[in-house]
Structure 1
Amino acid sequence: MTQRGVLDRRTLLRGAAGLAAFCGLNAASAACGGRKDAVRIATDDRWRQFAGTTLNFISENTAPTAAIAANLRPFTELTGINVNIVTLELTALVQKVALDLAGGESQYHVIYADPYQVLAPYSKGLVDLRELAADSSLPGLEGGFADFIPTQLDAAGRFGGGDEIFALPYDCPTMVWQYRADLFAKHHDRMADDLGFDPTPGAERTWEEYFRIARWFNDNTDDVAYGTGHQAKQHDSLQCDFSNVLWAFGGDYFDHGDRLGRYGTVEPGDCRLDTDPAIEAAQFYRRLLSIADPSSRTWDWNGLAPALTSGRIAMCPNWHEYAAGNEQAMPGKFGYAPLPRGTARSANIYGGTGIAINGNTLPNERRAAWLFVNWATAPRTQLANLASDAGGGTPTRESVYALPEVRAAEQRPSDLPNILTAPAVRKAWQPENIGLRPKIPMWNECDTAIYTQLSKMLAGDLSPADAMRETTARINRITDRGWSA
């Protein structure tokens, strides 16, 4: 087991490679070890040719999966295929997927492929979806791959230097500036006079101005206890929160961070957290946390969201899909904007994931799985998920955002509260604004090194410069070990 409970991927994939040579990872034969393929029915209806098949979909417990699980009937009626959905915490999901791929099995036909913990280390065990999209015996992909938001298709669907597409974008949580619009309106003129600038949130604001706005709330009003809060627990959330500032100040984890985040690699080169921009970002982040709600160091995203909706803080960076909860708690009182800019840009971390097909599937299983992946990411399904009482997340397709009913919902009153964030996230997803973590097989270990040293910095045990240098040394040791599969 690794530090965070994930099975050693190198060991697993060595086993997978050996078994693949025996069974045939591409499942060209009808069975491996006695497995039987799904039955294909002679029919002119391309959606119903695998009626009677049962598929297993393993997913993190996310909003789109909750919405689909609550209403699978449309898919079953369309295809005659039954789908069992297994939802797990991400670490447990990664363990089960790793074992399934290594064992040459396809217990899980459809996989929630986190870009960093599944796609990067296991892309060789996933199907290139272009092959299925081009199969004339199967329903085509409505709108084609071009209908997906381009930065998301790359970040969630690709790995390495090739043209393969291993996953279709399925969810797209992205950090944006969430704030109490009612309090900003109430205090706007006074803040502007005191601060000397327009405090209205937006990408034209700077992180230094964000700091000054937060301190103004601390010192000048009893409407909230603190001006800002953060997800600064010693956890992945701390790395995510800090990354927005790191990129905004021109720092990055490795060279060529944009390409590394979009396409990934097994050899990222030397860590760059010891550079001046990264150290400047760390210095600012420590200063920002010094005036934030002190409970920030105990919060991840699930702890931060209630602090905002309970009226404890005036603003925070958080995942945009918390908007629905905000609007339920305090209807009409929130606003959403891209995160502030630093000395380099506005950077908004993207946390989306795609869904993929297990490469161990047999030919007809694979085709049946494509029907589900195709349907689950189709425009009509994404629209239904968006309106679902069970959750639903936000769309990953351009065409859904262009629908008249979705456009109308960007303004209050809105029946689709997550779409109130659409103007902010559209800007956040632009190539110059999106924040992408390094898509490398060893990112899980690097992530742990980052948030561990940041936590020491926030506790006062390390200076920002020492925290960045120590993290750099640790990450270089991790990546120097290399990766083999």
Structure 2
Amino acid sequence: MREPGLSRRRLLGGVLAGGAATVLGGCSTRGDAPRTASGDPWRQFAGTTLNFISENTAPTAAIAADLGPFAELTGIRVNIVTLELSALVQKVALDLASGQAQYQVIYADPYQVLAPYSKGLADLRELADDPALPGSADDFADFVPVQLDASGRFGHDGKVFALPYDCPTMIWHYRRDLFEKHRARMADDLGFDPMPTDATTWEQYLAIARWFNDRTEDVRYGTGHQAKQHDSLMCDFSNVLWAHGGDYFGNGTEIGRIGAVDPGPCRLGDERAVEAAEFYRKLLAVADPASRTWEWNDLGAAFRAGRIAMCPNWHEFAADNESVLPGRVGYARLPAGPVRSANHYGGCGIGISANTLPNERGAAWLFVNWATSKEVQLRNLRSSAGGGTPTRGSVYALPEVEAAERRPSAMPNMLAADAVRQAWQPENAGLRPKIPMWNECDTAIYTQLSRMLAGDAGPAESMREAARRFDQITARGWVAAR
């Protein structure tokens, strides 16, 4: 997640092919890709052209700027189409319904592509274990487990529809220089050490925010949030919901990792969810008032501008933080609530359209395999065009990557690595429901939260109304799926 120009939800538009703009033609009947006998399994589809449709993410920006090595390795040309997520979802849905594959490789958002359209995606295990193709499904074990499940699976049949490609995760960003400057005075006033640890609670976070509001002029506010009436508000609130022991549905962890068509009754009206909403309203009451107009990019900009002392935000803003506030920002796992710490995972995978013909599918597998490989993830980390954070455990074990976790760092996103490693532990991972109707449910929850923050409804009323809407939406989706 990079900005400006490379934020996760900002429209870039256009089609990139090794850095050059191209225009794709409309769908038309075409033959399969060429395949030639070759002693090199990477060269058997030389001459093929693939189209990869992606949201504008940091890994895609880095890969688009460095496609030469893949072309040299395979002889395959790749056009990269980048769109805002909602436009991407529309194009993917139409393409899958067409029975053809204008886009052979697909950025498969777990909630808006994978869950509703998993039947339109190829099972990557079959390609990985094809003896004629490079790779093995055993290699999937190198991906961070929670990411492989959340980004790649839908259902209990063991199929893998996408490989983890990006992994933005919400963690605690804080002005380490200000915390160190005021540490002794804050500890005396608050009765606890303010430096973030595994024992820090959300109530303590609230107290720290109030202290910055009242006791120093170094920043205007102690905390800021991405609380615009937008997907960002759901993301921000969910950390607090899960930390309080609430969830969107029963068995929420399983639904977040594996997915479900029928998730059962919504649990937002339960006591713990209402308690979470009450706390969230209290937290936003002391936050920068502009928070209600901010999504993640706005929040990141406010933090870097020195307006706020801390915030929960996506970890891949670390590189931007370091460019503006070098050496002055720290990162930690999010605070714990009454039940646990929960850190919202927002990653996505890349998959292959099931409409692809056999040779075309093999060529697409070569790209997916290459784009998520250890070597390419390392190059992405080094990239000046974007980069991203690795989704493979083996990359984190490389000496130069381990060294980058400390300043001065040539890979500044790695400065958040310790925090995200904790966040990706199963007990700390926050996973929204992976259900076909999630997009409508998302709108329902952030609409009700916005009403609550505006004072138009209380926490209990907002949560009950959100639960009622969820049940209407998922019931309709369940009937349609049958």
TM-score range, shorter chain: over 0.9
Aligned residue identity for 2:435: I
In the alignment, the residues of structure 1 paired with residue 161 and residue 107 of structure 2 have an alpha-carbon distance, to the nearest angstrom, of 11
Structure 2 gaps of 5+ residues are 1-26
Counterpart of 1:463 (choices 449, 458, 461) is: 458
Matching of residue 149 in structure 1 with residue 147 in structure 2: no
5 Å-filtered alignment, 1:201-220, equals: 201-220=196-215
In the alignment, the residues of structure 2 paired with residue 290 and residue 477 of structure 1 have an alpha-carbon distance, to the nearest angstrom, of 31
Report the 3-state secondary structure (helix = DSSP H, G, I; strand = E; otherwise coil) of the residue aligned with 1:307.
Answer: helix
Matching of residue 424 in structure 1 with residue 433 in structure 2: no
Counterpart of 2:433 (choices 408, 417, 438) is: 438
Counterpart of 2:269 (choices 270, 274, 284) is: 274
Matching of residue 473 in structure 1 with residue 473 in structure 2: no
Aligned residue identity for 2:455: G
Is this contact kept in 1: 2:129–2:137, CA < 8 A? Answer: no
Is this contact kept in 1: 2:122–2:354, CA < 8 A? Answer: yes
Report the equivalent of 1:362: 357
Is this contact kept in 2: 1:252–1:273, CA < 8 A? Answer: yes
Report the equivalent of 1:97: 92
In the alignment, the residues of structure 2 paired with residue 393 and residue 257 of structure 1 have an alpha-carbon distance, to the nearest angstrom, of 28
Matching of residue 314 in structure 1 with residue 314 in structure 2: no
Change (3 A) 1:477 1:142: closer
Report the equivalent of 1:193: 188
Deviations 1:106-158 (A, max 9, x none): 00000000000000000000000000000011111497010000000000000
Change (3 A) 1:188 1:74: same
Matching of residue 243 in structure 1 with residue 238 in structure 2: yes
Q: TM-score, normalised by structure 2?
A: 0.93
In the alignment, the residues of structure 2 paired with residue 212 and residue 91 of structure 1 have an alpha-carbon distance, to the nearest angstrom, of 38
In the alignment, the residues of structure 2 paired with residue 98 and residue 155 of structure 1 have an alpha-carbon distance, to the nearest angstrom, of 20
Is this contact kept in 2: 1:141–1:374, CA < 8 A? Answer: no
Change (3 A) 1:104 1:309: same
Report the 3-state secondary structure (helix = DSSP H, G, I; strand = E; otherwise coil) of the residue aligned with 1:316.
Answer: strand
In the alignment, the residues of structure 2 paired with residue 344 and residue 415 of structure 1 have an alpha-carbon distance, to the nearest angstrom, of 37
Counterpart of 2:248 (choices 242, 250, 253) is: 253
In the alignment, the residues of structure 2 paired with residue 362 and residue 33 of structure 1 have an alpha-carbon distance, to the nearest angstrom, of 14
Is this contact kept in 1: 2:128–2:137, CA < 8 A? Answer: no
Deviations 1:315-342 (A, max 9, x none): 0000000000000011000000000000
In the alignment, the residues of structure 2 paired with residue 262 and residue 324 of structure 1 have an alpha-carbon distance, to the nearest angstrom, of 28
Report the equivalent of 1:391: 386
Aligned residue identity for 1:312: R
In the alignment, the residues of structure 1 paired with residue 295 and residue 314 of structure 2 have an alpha-carbon distance, to the nearest angstrom, of 11
In the alignment, the residues of structure 1 paired with residue 136 and residue 178 of structure 2 have an alpha-carbon distance, to the nearest angstrom, of 45
Matching of residue 120 in structure 1 with residue 120 in structure 2: no
Matching of residue 264 in structure 1 with residue 263 in structure 2: no
Deviations 1:5-33 (A, max 9, x none): xxxxxxxxxxxxxxxxxxxxxxxxxxx98
In the alignment, the residues of structure 1 paired with residue 194 and residue 157 of structure 2 have an alpha-carbon distance, to the nearest angstrom, of 45
Q: TM-score, normalised by structure 1?
A: 0.93
The total of aligned residue pairs comes to: 454
Structure 1 gaps of 5+ residues are 1-31
Deviation of 1:166 after TM superposition, in Å, equals 0.3
Aligned-pair Cα RMSD in Å: 1.1
Deviation of 1:482 after TM superposition, in Å, equals 2.8
5 Å-filtered alignment, 1:320-339, equals: 320-339=315-334
Is this contact kept in 2: 1:202–1:339, CA < 8 A? Answer: no
- Structure 1 runs of 4+ with >4 Å offset: none
Report the 3-state secondary structure (helix = DSSP H, G, I; strand = E; otherwise coil) of the residue aligned with 1:85.
Answer: strand
In the alignment, the residues of structure 1 paired with residue 445 and residue 137 of structure 2 have an alpha-carbon distance, to the nearest angstrom, of 40
Matching of residue 75 in structure 1 with residue 70 in structure 2: yes
In the alignment, the residues of structure 2 paired with residue 167 and residue 385 of structure 1 have an alpha-carbon distance, to the nearest angstrom, of 19
Report the 3-state secondary structure (helix = DSSP H, G, I; strand = E; otherwise coil) of the residue aligned with 2:402.
Answer: helix
In the alignment, the residues of structure 2 paired with residue 183 and residue 98 of structure 1 have an alpha-carbon distance, to the nearest angstrom, of 48
Report the equivalent of 1:300: 295
In the alignment, the residues of structure 2 paired with residue 337 and residue 434 of structure 1 have an alpha-carbon distance, to the nearest angstrom, of 14
Matching of residue 287 in structure 1 with residue 282 in structure 2: yes
Deviation of 1:50 after TM superposition, in Å, equals 0.5
Report the 3-state secondary structure (helix = DSSP H, G, I; strand = E; otherwise coil) of the residue aligned with 1:481.
Answer: helix
In the alignment, the residues of structure 2 paired with residue 334 and residue 382 of structure 1 have an alpha-carbon distance, to the nearest angstrom, of 25
Deviations 1:51-89 (A, max 9, x none): 110000000000000000011001001000000000000
Deviation of 1:34 after TM superposition, in Å, equals 4.3
Deviation of 1:287 after TM superposition, in Å, equals 0.3
Report the equivalent of 1:17: none
